[in-house]
């Protein structure tokens, strides 16, 4: 991970502005959705891209107990369960 040297204060409503130079560099548009990730003391922001918990694929996703699963993995699970 690389430090950008950019520091921003969170306002009294808990908001933070993504600096234009970062949005340009990362090609983040104004209508995009970002997802928060936490690892220890680190907070990461990534472009929101729903993916299967098991294979990382994004085709025909379904949600179960807050986790996403694709049709292919779901079929594999069903097959294992019955076989």
Interface residues with Zn ion (CB under 5 A) are 52, 54-55, 57, 70, 73
Is the separation of the CB atoms in 57 and 51 below 8 Å? yes
CB of 29 to Zn ion, least distance (A): 28
Closer CB to Zn ion, 11 or 81, in the complex: 81
Distance CA 63, CA 77 (A): 14
Residue nearer to Zn ion on the CB measure, 19 or 50: 50
- Which residue lies nearer to Zn ion by CB, 23 or 68? 68
- Give the C-alpha separation, 51 to 22, whole Å: 25
């Amino acid at each position: 991970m690389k430090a950008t040297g950019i520091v921003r204060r969170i306002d009294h409503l808990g908001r933070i502005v993504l600096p234009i130079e970062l949005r340009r560099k990362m090609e983040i548009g104004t209508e995009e959705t970002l997802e928060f990730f936490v690892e220890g003391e680190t907070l990461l922001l990534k472009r929101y891209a729903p993916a299967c918990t098991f294979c990382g694929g994004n085709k025909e996703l379904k949600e179960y107990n807050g986790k996403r699963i694709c049709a292919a993995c779901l079929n594999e699970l069903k097959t294992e369960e019955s076989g």
